[in-house]
Structure 1
Amino acid sequence: MIQKVLHSFMFVLALGLLATQAQTIPTPKEHFGFNIGDDYQLATYTQTEAYFRKVAAASDRVKLVDIGLTEEGRHQLMLIVSSPENLKKLDRYKEISQKLARAENLSDEQAHTLANEGKAVVWIDGGLHATETVGTHQLIETVYQLTSRKDPETMRILDKDIILLTHANPDGQEIVTNWYMREPKAEKRVLDNLPRLYQKYVGHDNNRDFFIMNMKETQNIGRQLFVEWIPQIMYNHHQSGPAGSVLAGPPYRDPFNYVFDPLMVTGIDALGAAMINRLNAENKPGFTRLGGSVFSTWYNGGLRTTTHFHNMVGLLTEIIGGPTPEDIPLVPKRLIPNGNTPFPVTPQKWHFKQSIDYSISLNYAVLNYAARYGDELLFNIYRMGKNSIERGSRDYWALSPKRIDAIDEAFKNDPKKVVPPTNAALAQYGFVPRGGGMPIKYYDTIMKAPVLRDPRGFIIPANQPDFATAVKFINALVKTGIQIQQATADFTVAGKKYPVGSYVVKTDQAFRPHILDMFEPQDHPNDFQYPGGPPVRPYDAAGWTLAYLMNVQFDRILDGFDGPFKKLPIGELQSPEGHVNGASGAGYVLSAKANNSFIAVNDLLASGVEVYRLPNGVGEKSTVEAGAFFVPASAKAKSLLDKSAKELSLEVSGLSKRPTTSMTKVSPMRIALWDSYGGSMPSGWIRWLMEQYHFPMKVIYPKDIDAGDLRKKFDVIVFVTRAIPPVGAKDDDIFAALERAPKEETTPEMYRPWMGKITADKSIPQIKTFMESGGTVVTIGSSTNLAYHLKLPVKNALTEMTNSGQERPLPGEKYYIPGSVLRVSLDSTQHATWGLSNQTDVYFDASPVFNLAPEAIAKGTVVPLAWFDTNKPLRSGWAWGQSYLQDGVAAFMAPVGSGKLYAFGPEITFRAQSQGTFKLLFNQLYALKTP
C-alpha cells in the first residue's frame, strides 16, 4: 500500500515537473546564440520559424497559425498570444470581433454587450520591408516578452487582449540576413547593396499591394485582417525615422482621406498619445509626429493604410537603427521642442538594442491601451461600421475639395451676393469674423443637389467585353472583406436591363470607405508649401481608383435598389465559368478586349496550335473588333479552348465560316526583360505579369546588352521606367552611380553578371543596332528617354522658355502631377492599341509627354498612339496645371531601321493594377506575318 502511494506521489511530481518544464520559454539567446538587439547579429527566417514553433510548443499563451505559403514557398506564421483561458475561446472572440466590425443587424445595446464580453484584437507585424531589420527582430523579442513575463501589466494585457503577431515577409528576412551575415568579420557586415529584391517579384512594393492583393503574402495577411479577425488596432513596424529623430509615428500629417469615419482619425490620435506618453515616461526621446514627418493617411494600398478604409486604427512607426551601429546626426531645427517633436533626441551613437527597446515599449503602449479601453475600441469599430451602413442607406453628400470649390464658385457667380466683412491680415489663415461667412444657401446649392450625392451601390454588368478582368476586380474587393451580391436572374434598375450573373456592390455596409475608394475618384487637395510655392508631394499616389485602372464597366446607382440578388459568402473568390458559343466548324474567335485571351493564345501557341489576328475584325460579325484572335478548328484547339474558357471566364465565339477579311499569323517572340543588380520593382511586376499571362521571357542585365548580338537572341526587349538614363549632362549621374555601386571584386561571383548600368556610350548603340536589324523595343515611363538618345523628331511637351531664352521643364508651381489617373485618347484600330476603346484611363506619375514634329507625323517617322485631347484629363488624384497636357502625345511608335520603338509615357503596367492598359504591352509581344 505504501509503495502504491509513493508511486502515485512520484507520478504526480513527475507530471508537475513536466508541466513546469513545458512552460520554460527558451530565451532568444538560448536559441539564436545572441540576444535580440546585439550589434552585428541578425536571425534568418529559418531560425525564427524554428523559434516560433519552439515557443508555441512550450507556452500555453500561444496558438501558432500557418496563414499560407509565400511566393518562394515558405510558411508564413502568425502567433496568436493571449491568456490560456482566452485561447480556449478564440472562436467566440473572433466571432465577436467580426460581428462588431461588420455592424449588421445590431443595436447599440447589443453592441455594448458584445464589446463588454469581447477582447480587444491587436495586430502587430514586422519585417514587411526586410532591410528594415528592426521590424523582424522586435517581433521575435515581443514573442519572448509576452510569453515569459509575469508582471501585472503583461498579465493584464494577456487577460484583456487577443494579440496577432504576424511575420509579414519570411522570404525577405532569409535573403537579407544571409546577405548581412555572409561576412565573417562582424565589423565589416553591411546591409548595403542587396543583390535582389527582398520579395520575389516586387520588393518594397509589397507595401503597395493591399487593395488588389496580387502577391501571396499580401493575400495571406489580407485574409486575416479583413475576413478572419478584423482587429480593432493594427500596428505596422517600419524604418527609418527622419534624420535627427528616433522615430516617426502617429498622428500623421494632413491630408487624410475624406472617406474616413472621424472616429478612425481620432482613434489614431488617441493611440499616438499613448505611445509618445510611454516613451516620454521612460525617458526615451526622439518621437516625431504630425508635420515632423512625411507620413499621411491619404493613400490606400499599404498594409497599414488599407486598414484605415476598414475602420481599424492603423498605426505606423518608422524607427532608426539596425545591426550596425549608426549615428543620430545633428539636425539643428530638430532640437527645438514643438508640437511635432515635444522631446527631441540629441546627436549620439545609436545601437540596435535601443531600437528594439523602443519598439517593445511602443508595442506595450498599444497593448496596454487596448487592455484598458478594449470595450471602447470594440464598440467604436461597431459605431464606425454602423455609421457607414447608415450613410449608404440614405442620401448622403461627401465633402471634398471639389465640393468646396463648387460652393465658392456658386458664391462668386451670384450677382446678388452679400460679401461678408473680412480682415485681410487674418483671412490668409482662414479666420472669419463672428457673423461673417456665406449664407447657408450656397451650401444647400451644392450639398443637397440630387445628382451630387453618393451612390447607394454599383452594378458590374456580366455582359461587358472583359468580364474576366471585372471578376478580378470583384475578387480584389472580396479579398478585402467586402460583401458582394450577384444576380440570379436578369433584372432592371433605373430603366437599364442587366443580365444574370452581374455583380452588385452596395454601399450600406461597414467597409463603405473602401468601396467608395475603389469605385470613386480621389480628390486630392491642392497642397503647397505656401501660396504660390512648390507642391508638397503625397506620401505615395494621389489617385488610384481601381475600377478605372482595371477598365471595369460599372454603373453608379444613386437611389436605393433591389433585385434578384444573392449575398455571396464573405471572402469567397469568384470564378464564373466561360463558354464556347456557337457553331465552330471553321474555328474560334477570342476577343482582343479580354486580357485573359492572351493567356489562352499563349497556351495555344505553346501547344503548336495556329493562331491569327484579324486587323479589321470579322465582316459578318460586327461585334468582333479589330485585333481579335482567330483559331482554326482542330481537335487540339477545341480541347484547349474548352479548358481556357471554363477556367479563365472567357466567352469564345465559334465561327461556321472562315473569316474572309485579312489575317496575320501570330508567332511567339523571344522576349527579354531588363533588370538590374539590386532588382527593379517595375521589372519585377512585369516578370510576375509575364508568368501570370504565360509569356515566356528571359531577364537580361546591362552586361547582356553591352555584349551585343542582341538580335541573334531576342525579338523584343522591354525597358521599364528608370532603365534608360536621360541624355546630356545627366549622364554624369549614371557614372556617379557606378562609382557608388558595389565593386565586382567584393561581390559574390554569382551576382556579378547582374552588375552595371545602361550607358549612352556602350548600351545605347547596341540597342539601336538591335532595332535597326529588325528588333522591337518597348519603353515605359522614363525609359522613353531612348527616343532622345536616338534623336527621333520628338521633344518634351512640358517645358517653357525663361526670360533669358532658355528652355526648362515646367516648375512645380505651374505643373505638378504625382501618381494619378488620367484619360487619354487613342486609335484602337492600330496594332499597338488593339483591344482598347478610343478613350482609356492610364496611370500617370510625372510621366513623359511629347510633342511630335509635324513632318514626323506626315512622313510616318513617328506614329502617335495615345494623346491628350482635352485640357482636363484628370480622372482621379491631383493634377495641378493639367491644361499643359492638351495636345501632348502620351505614347508613340517610331520605325528604327527594320525594327520599331514603342514609347509609352504612362505606367501601363503599374504595380499590376493598371490592367486596363496591359494590352499596350501584350500587343507588342507577338510577331505578326501575313499568310
Structure 2
Amino acid sequence: MMRFFPRLLLIGLLFSLTTAWAQNILSPKEHFGFNIGDDYMLATYTQTEAYFKKIAAASDRAKLVDIGMTEEGRHQYMLIVSSPENLKKLDRYKEISQKLARAEGLTDEQARALANEGKAVVWIDGGLHATETVGTMQLIETIWQLVSRKDPETLRILDQDIILLTHANPDGQEIVTNWYMREKTPEKRSLDNLPRLYQKYIGHDNNRDFFMLNMKETRNIGRQLFVEWIPQIMYNHHQRGPAGSVLAGPPYRDPFNYAFDPLMITGIDALGAAMINRLNSENKPGFTRLGGSVFSTWYNGGLRTTTHFHNMIGLLTEIIGGPTPEDVPLVPNRLIPNGNTPFPVRPQKWHFKQSIDYSLSLNYAVMDYAARYRDQVLYNIYRMGKNSIERGSTDTWALSPKRIDAIQEAYKADPKKPTSTTNAALAQYGLLPRGGGMPVKYYDTIMKAPTLRDPRGFIIPANQPDFATAVKFLNALIRTGIQVQQATADFTVAGKKYPEGSYIVKTDQSFRPHILDMFEPQDHPNDFQYPGGPPVRPYDAAGWTLAYLMNVQFDRILDGFDGPFKKLPYGELLSPEGHINGGGSAGYVLSARANNSFIAVNDLLASGVEVYRLPNGAGGKSSVEAGAFFVPASAKAKSLLDKSAKDLGLEITGVSKRPTTSMIKVSPMRIALWDTYGGSMPSGWVRWLMEQYHFPMKVIYPSDIDAGDLRKKYDVIVFVTRAIPPVRGEENDIFRALEREPKEETTPAEYRPWLGRITASKSIPQIKAFLEAGGTVVTIGSSTNLAYHLNLPVKNALTEMTSSGQDRPLPGEKYYIPGSVLRVNLDSTQHATWGMPNLTDVYFDASPVFKLAPEAIAKGTVKPLAWFSSNKPLRSGWAWGQSYLQDGVAAFMAPVGSGKLYAFGPEITFRAQSQGTFKLLFNQLYSTGSSPQSGNETVSEE
C-alpha cells in the first residue's frame, strides 16, 4: 500500500507538468518574431495557420475547425474559443443556438429556458479584404489575448460566450503579405500596386457574394453562419475609416431594408453604444457613426449585411491604419463634436499598433456585451425568428416608399377629402399638431387591400424551361439557411396545377426577411441630399432580387396553402437528375433556354462530337425553340449526354428524325478575355463563369492587344465593363491611370506583360483590324464605348440639350439609376439572343443606353437586340427619371468589316448572379457560320 502512494504522487506530478506545458502558449512575438502591430511587419497565412495550430494544441480554451478549402487550395480555419467546460459541450450549445435562431415549435417559456442554458455565440472575422491588413492581424492578437489572459473580464467572456474567430481569406493574406514583405528595407515596403486580385477570381467582390455563395470561401463561411452555428452577433472587420476619423462603426445611416425585424436594428444600436462607450472610456477618440459615414444596412450580399436578413446583429467597422505609419489628416468639419462623432480625433501620426489596440477594444466590447446580456441576446434572436414565423402565417402588408406614395395619391385623388386648409397639405408630411392627421381610410385603402398582402409562400414549378437554374437559385437559399419543401405528388394551389417535384418556399420561417429579399422587389427610397438636389449614392446596389436576375419562374401565393410537401433538411443541397426522353435513334435536342446546355455542348465539342444549332427551331410533339442544339446520334454522344443529363439536371429530347435543313454546325472559338494589371473584378467573374461552363479561354492584357495580329490568335475577344475608355476626356483618364500604374522597371519581370491600358491611339486600331478581319468582339457595360471609338451610327440616349445647343449627360437631379433590376424587350429570333424570352430582367448599373442614328435605321446596319419599350421598366431597386429610358436601345449588334461587334449595356454577367442573361454572352462564343435560309423542319420524338 505504501508503494502505491509514491506512484500516485509521481503520476500527479507528471500530469501537472504536462498541463503546465500544454498551457505554455507561444506569444505572437515568440512565433512570428515580432509583436502584432509592429510597424512594417505582416505575417503570411502560412505562418498564421501554423500559429493557430500551435494555439489549439497548447490551449484548453481553443478548438481548431477546418471549415473547407479555398479557391487556391488552402485550408480555411475557424478557431473556437471559450472556457474548457464550454468546449466540452459545444454540440449542445450549437444545438441551442440553432433551435433559438430557427424558433420552430418553441414556446416563449421554452425559449427562455434554452436562453438561460445556452451561451452567446459571437462571430469575429478578419482578412476578407486582404489589403485591409488590420483585419487579419487583429484576429491573431485577439486569439492570443483570449487564450492567455486571466483577468476577470476575459474569464467572464470565456464562461458566457462561444467565440468563432474565423479567417475570411487565407489566399489573400498570403498574396498581400508576400507582396508587402518582398522589400528588404522596411521603410520602402508598400501595399500599392498589388499585381493581381487577392481572391483568385473576384478580389474585393468577395464581400458581395454572400447571398449567392459562388466562391468556395464564401460557401465555407456561409455554412457556419447560416446552417451550423447561426451566431447571435457577428463582427466583420474592414478598412478604411472616413478621412479625419479613426473608424466608422454602428449604428449606420438610413435607409435600412424594410424587411428587417426592428429588434435587429435596435440590437445594432445597443452594440454600437457598447463599442463607442468602451473606446471613449479608454480615451480612444475618432469613432464616427450614423451620417458620419457612407455605410448603411440596405444592401444584402455582404458578409455583414446578409446576416441582417437572418436576425443576427451584424456589425461592421472600417478603421484606418496599416503596417506603414500614416497621418490622420486635418479635416476641419470633423473636429467639432456632434451626434455622428462625439469624440473627434486630432491630426497626428498613426501607427499600426494603435489600430490593433482599437480593434482589440472593440472586440472586447462586443464579447463583453454578449457575456453580460447573454440570455437576452439568445432570447432576442428567437423572438425575431418567432416574429417572422407569425408574420408569414397571417395576412401582413409591408410598408415601403411606394405604399406611402400610394396612400398620398389616394388622398390627393379623393374628391371628397377635407379641403379646408393648410392642415390637409401638412397631413401628408406628418406635420400636424397633436390630434391631427390624414383620415385613416386612406391607410386602409392601401394597407388592407387583399391583393397587396405579403406572400405566404412561393412555388417554383418543376416544368419550367430552365429548371436546373431554378435549382441553383434554391441551393443559394439553402446555403443561407432557408428551409425548402418539395412536392411528392402533383398538387393544386389557387386553381393552378403543379407537377410532382416542384419546390415550395414558405415565408412562415425565421429567416423570412431573406426569403422576401430574394423573391420580392426592393423599393429603395428617393434619397437626395436636399429637395431638388443630387442623389445620395447607395453604398452598393439598390436592387438585386435574385429570382428576377436568375429568370426563375415562380408564383406568389397570398393565402395559406398546403399539399403533399416534404420538408428538406437544413443545408442539404438539391441535385435534380435529368433524363434523356426518347430513344434518340436520329439524335438529341438540347434546349437553348437551359444554361447548363452550354456545359453539355462544350463537353461534346471537347470530345469531338458534332453539334448543330436549329436557328428556326423545329416542330414535333413539343415545340423546339430557335437556337436549340441538335446532336446526331452516336455511341459517344449518348454516353456523354447520359452523364450530362444526370449531372446537370438537363431534360434532353431523343428524336427519330434528323433535321435535313435549317441546321448550323457549331464550332468552338478561340476566346480571349481582357484583364489588366492589378486584376479586374468583372473580368475575374467572367473567367470563373467560363470555367464553370467549360468554355476554353485565354486571359489577355493591353500589351497583347497592342502587339497586333489578333485575328491569327483569337476568334472572339470579350471586354467587360471598364476595359474600353470613353472617347471624350480619354487622354486625361489614361494619363491618370498610367500615373497610378507601377513603373516597368520597378515591377517584377513576371508581371510586366500585364502593364498598360487600352488606348485610342494604339489599342483601338488593333481591335478594329481584328473586327474587319472577321473577328467577334463582345463588349459589356462601359466597354460599349468601343462603338463610339469606331464611329458607329449610335449615340448616347441619356443626354439633354444645353442652352448653348450642346449635348450633355442628364444630371443626377433628373436621371439616376444605381445598381437595380430593369426589364427589357428582346428579339429572341436573332443568334445573339437565342434561348432568351421576349421580356427579361437585366442588372442595370448606370449602364449605357443608345439611340440609333437615322442612317443606321435606314440601312439596317445596326441590329437592336434589347430595348426599353416602357417608361417604367424598374423591377427592383431605384430608378429616378426612368421615363428617359423609353425607346432606348440596351444592346445591339453591328457589323464591322467582316466581323461583328456586340454591345450589351446592362451587366449581363454581374457577379455571376444575373444568370438569366448569361446566354447573351454564351451565344457569341461559338462559331456558327452564316445564317441559313429560313426553314422549320419537323423533328419527330421517340
TM-score grouping bracket, smaller chain normalisation: over 0.9
Q: Deviations over 1:880-919 (max 9, x none)?
A: 0000000000000000000000000000000000000000
Q: Deviations over 1:484-508 (max 9, x none)?
A: 0000011111111100100000000
Instruction: Output the CA distance in 1 between the equivalents of 2:7 and 2:837.
Output: 85
Residue 584 of structure 1: aligned partner: 584
Residue 763 of structure 1: aligned partner: 763
| Contact map agreement 1:618 1:661 (CA 8 A) in 2 | no
Residue 338 of structure 1: aligned partner: 338
Q: Deviations over 1:735-793 (max 9, x none)?
A: 22112210011111100000000000000000000000000000000000000000000
Residue 634 of structure 1: aligned partner: 634
Q: Which amino acid aligns with 1:709?
A: D
2:112 equivalent to 1:108: no
| Contact map agreement 1:422 1:432 (CA 8 A) in 2 | no
Q: Secondary structure at the match of 2:666?
A: strand
Q: Secondary structure at the match of 1:177?
A: helix
Residue 439 of structure 1: aligned partner: 439
Residue 683 of structure 2: aligned partner: 683
Q: Deviations over 1:423-456 (max 9, x none)?
A: 7998898522223210000000000000000000
Instruction: Output the CA distance in 2 between the equivalents of 1:170 and 1:301.
Output: 20
Runs of 4+ in structure 1 over 6 Å off? 1-4, 423-429
Residue 481 of structure 1: aligned partner: 481
Q: Secondary structure at the match of 1:929?
A: coil
Flag structure 2 segments of 5+ consecutive residues without an equivalent. Answer: 933-942
2:414 equivalent to 1:387: no
2:410 equivalent to 1:410: yes
Q: Deviations over 1:680-738 (max 9, x none)?
A: 00000000000000000000000000000000000000000000000033322112211
Instruction: Output the CA distance in 2 between the equivalents of 1:752 and 1:241.
Output: 33
Residue 459 of structure 1: aligned partner: 459
| Contact map agreement 1:291 1:340 (CA 8 A) in 2 | yes
Instruction: Output the CA distance in 2 between the equivalents of 1:112 and 1:478.
Output: 28
Instruction: Output the CA distance in 2 between the equivalents of 1:475 and 1:700.
Output: 33
Q: Deviations over 1:456-494 (max 9, x none)?
A: 000000000000000000000000000000000111111
Residue 859 of structure 1: aligned partner: 859
Q: Secondary structure at the match of 1:879?
A: coil
Q: Secondary structure at the match of 2:469?
A: helix
Residue 368 of structure 1: aligned partner: 368
Instruction: Output the CA distance in 1 between the equivalents of 2:800 and 2:492.
Output: 53
Q: Which amino acid aligns with 2:73?
A: G
| Contact map agreement 2:430 2:437 (CA 8 A) in 1 | no
Change beyond 3 A, Cα 1:35–1:429:
farther
1:420 is displaced (CA, Å) by: 6.9
| Contact map agreement 1:831 1:923 (CA 8 A) in 2 | yes
Residue 95 of structure 2: aligned partner: 95
Residue 401 of structure 2: aligned partner: 401
What is the number of equivalent residue pairs in this alignment? 931
Residue 61 of structure 2: aligned partner: 61
Change beyond 3 A, Cα 1:423–1:334:
farther
Q: Which amino acid aligns with 2:563?
A: G
Q: Secondary structure at the match of 1:654?
A: strand
Instruction: Output the CA distance in 1 between the equivalents of 2:118 and 2:215.
Output: 32
Instruction: Output the CA distance in 2 between the equivalents of 1:154 and 1:699.
Output: 51
Residue 293 of structure 1: aligned partner: 293
Instruction: Output the CA distance in 2 between the equivalents of 1:431 and 1:242.
Output: 35
| Contact map agreement 2:408 2:428 (CA 8 A) in 1 | no
2:842 equivalent to 1:842: yes
Residue 822 of structure 2: aligned partner: 822
Residue 940 of structure 2: aligned partner: none
| Contact map agreement 2:424 2:438 (CA 8 A) in 1 | no
Instruction: Output the CA distance in 2 between the equivalents of 1:152 and 1:25.
Output: 19
Instruction: Output the CA distance in 2 between the equivalents of 1:533 and 1:228.
Output: 47
| Aligned pairs (5 A) from 1:417-432 | 417-419=417-419, 422=422, 430-432=430-432
| Aligned pairs (5 A) from 1:98-497 | 98-419=98-419, 422=422, 430-497=430-497
Residue 17 of structure 2: aligned partner: 17
Residue 705 of structure 2: aligned partner: 705
1:3 is displaced (CA, Å) by: 7.3
Q: Which amino acid aligns with 2:439?
A: P
Q: Which amino acid aligns with 2:638?
A: K
Instruction: Output the CA distance in 2 between the equivalents of 1:794 and 1:73.
Output: 47
Residue 938 of structure 2: aligned partner: none
| Contact map agreement 2:307 2:314 (CA 8 A) in 1 | yes
2:792 equivalent to 1:800: no
| Contact map agreement 2:825 2:839 (CA 8 A) in 1 | yes
1:661 is displaced (CA, Å) by: 3.9
| Contact map agreement 2:427 2:436 (CA 8 A) in 1 | no
Instruction: Output the CA distance in 1 between the equivalents of 2:426 and 2:620.
Output: 71
Residue 575 of structure 1: aligned partner: 575
Residue 876 of structure 1: aligned partner: 876
Q: Which amino acid aligns with 1:817?
A: I
Q: Which amino acid aligns with 1:835?
A: G
Residue 565 of structure 1: aligned partner: 565
| Contact map agreement 1:420 1:436 (CA 8 A) in 2 | no
| Contact map agreement 2:478 2:571 (CA 8 A) in 1 | yes
| Contact map agreement 1:798 1:884 (CA 8 A) in 2 | yes
Residue 893 of structure 1: aligned partner: 893
1:622 is displaced (CA, Å) by: 4.7
Residue 35 of structure 1: aligned partner: 35
Q: Which amino acid aligns with 1:127?
A: G
Q: Secondary structure at the match of 1:470?
A: helix
Instruction: Output the CA distance in 1 between the equivalents of 2:7 and 2:458.
Output: 73
Instruction: Output the CA distance in 1 between the equivalents of 2:57 and 2:425.
Output: 68
8-17 vs 613-622, which moves further: 8-17
Instruction: Output the CA distance in 2 between the equivalents of 1:827 and 1:268.
Output: 48
Instruction: Output the CA distance in 1 between the equivalents of 2:579 and 2:362.
Output: 55
Instruction: Output the CA distance in 1 between the equivalents of 2:424 and 2:634.
Output: 80
1:656 is displaced (CA, Å) by: 0.5
1:861 is displaced (CA, Å) by: 1.3
1:857 is displaced (CA, Å) by: 2.5
Q: Deviations over 1:617-652 (max 9, x none)?
A: 013355210000000000000000000000000000
Q: Which amino acid aligns with 2:791?
A: K
Q: Secondary structure at the match of 1:871?
A: coil
Q: Which amino acid aligns with 1:105?
A: G
Change beyond 3 A, Cα 1:434–1:419:
farther
Residue 939 of structure 2: aligned partner: none
Residue 715 of structure 2: aligned partner: 715
Instruction: Output the CA distance in 1 between the equivalents of 2:622 and 2:507.
Output: 37
Q: Deviations over 1:232-274 (max 9, x none)?
A: 0000000000000000000000000000000000000000000
| Contact map agreement 1:893 1:902 (CA 8 A) in 2 | yes
Aligned-pair identity in percent equals 86
1:11 is displaced (CA, Å) by: 3.8
Residue 809 of structure 2: aligned partner: 809
1:12 is displaced (CA, Å) by: 2.5
4-13 vs 309-318, which moves further: 4-13
| Contact map agreement 1:780 1:908 (CA 8 A) in 2 | yes
Q: Secondary structure at the match of 2:303?
A: coil
Instruction: Output the CA distance in 1 between the equivalents of 2:5 and 2:619.
Output: 98
Flag structure 1 segments of 5+ consecutive residues without an equivalent. Answer: none
| Contact map agreement 2:427 2:438 (CA 8 A) in 1 | no
Instruction: Output the CA distance in 1 between the equivalents of 2:856 and 2:149.
Output: 75
Change beyond 3 A, Cα 1:15–1:766:
same
Q: Secondary structure at the match of 1:728?
A: coil
1:860 is displaced (CA, Å) by: 2.2
Instruction: Output the CA distance in 1 between the equivalents of 2:407 and 2:219.
Output: 42
Instruction: Output the CA distance in 2 between the equivalents of 1:480 and 1:824.
Output: 30
Q: Which amino acid aligns with 1:376?
A: Q
Instruction: Output the CA distance in 2 between the equivalents of 1:784 and 1:278.
Output: 51
| Contact map agreement 1:456 1:560 (CA 8 A) in 2 | yes
Instruction: Output the CA distance in 2 between the equivalents of 1:922 and 1:30.
Output: 54
605-614 vs 433-442, which moves further: 433-442
| Contact map agreement 2:428 2:438 (CA 8 A) in 1 | no
Q: Which amino acid aligns with 1:900?
A: K
